[in-house]
Amino acid sequence: MTNLGNIIIAIDGPAASGKGTIAKKLSEYFGLPYLDSGLLYRIVASEVIKHNIDPTKKRLVIDHVKKINFDRIDNGSLRNDNVSHVASIIAQYKEVRDVLLRYQRSFALNGVVMDGRDIGTVIFPNADYKFYITATLEERTNRRFMELLEQNSELNRNIVKNDINNRDQRDIMRKIAPLAKADDAIEVDTTFMKIDDVIDFIVKYIHKDKKS
């Protein structure tokens, strides 16, 4: 573990790019707290589903989001397809994003590694380091397919590919805080890289920057 103080490292990228795994490993390496911001949107989505709220009814979602406790710990049920789908719908609402923005900023008081879609652009435009993690749609589909196959052996690869693609399009096209690479972010295309090579690249980049 290397301690660089209370720095902020922003990791953004499309669905199934590996950004969560990368952010978690970096947080362990640098001894920083870790927050998966997608989980916050998933918590809102699962609450909306639990209360039978139509996610396209913006007013109902906004009224409900104020009642949610975001300190709830992750559990496996937040990672299913329906929650992913509803999360990308409610993520379009400014009022939802504002509530989550406040939570994300207050979480980072002792430094953080945070991954998401708008971390380097909106949540922490002055982050110490910003990385934008990508991989081709085919490769991201392969990764998600292999992950989900363990739970469902009858899974259809094309459905997984469509789900990822539809979600990316909605995240890229939304008006508020869309998925985007910050101008000053370093883009890392991981299509042909192993996770450990990505970590190695980022750690070396940060150490080199610290020395200069």
- State yes or no: residue 65 binds ligand DC (CB under 6 A): no
Nearest one of 29, 37, 28, 31 to 10, comparing CA atoms = 37
Residue of 117, 130, 140, 144 that binds ligand DC (CB under 6 A): 117
In degrees and rounded to multiples of 5, residue 153 shows phi and psi of -75, -10
- State yes or no: residue 27 binds ligand DC (CB under 6 A): no
- State yes or no: residue 144 binds ligand DC (CB under 6 A): no
Residue of 25, 42, 130, 144 that binds ligand DC (CB under 6 A): 42
- State yes or no: residue 130 binds ligand DC (CB under 6 A): no
The string of DSSP letters for 50-96 reads HTT--TT-HHHHHHHHTT--TTPPP-GGGGSHHHHHHHHHHTT-HHH
Instruction: List the structure tokens of 165.
Output: 């693609």
- State yes or no: residue 47 binds ligand DC (CB under 6 A): no
Residue of 22, 87, 164, 188 that binds ligand DC (CB under 6 A): 87
The least CB distance from residue 119 to ligand DC, in Å, is: 6
Instruction: List the structure tokens of 102.
Output: 């406040």
HSE on the CB side for 90, CA within 13 Å?
Answer: 32
| Nearer Cβ to ligand DC (55/116) | 116
Q: Which residues bind ligand DC (CB under 6 A)?
A: 15, 37-38, 41-42, 84, 87-88, 91, 116-119, 167, 171
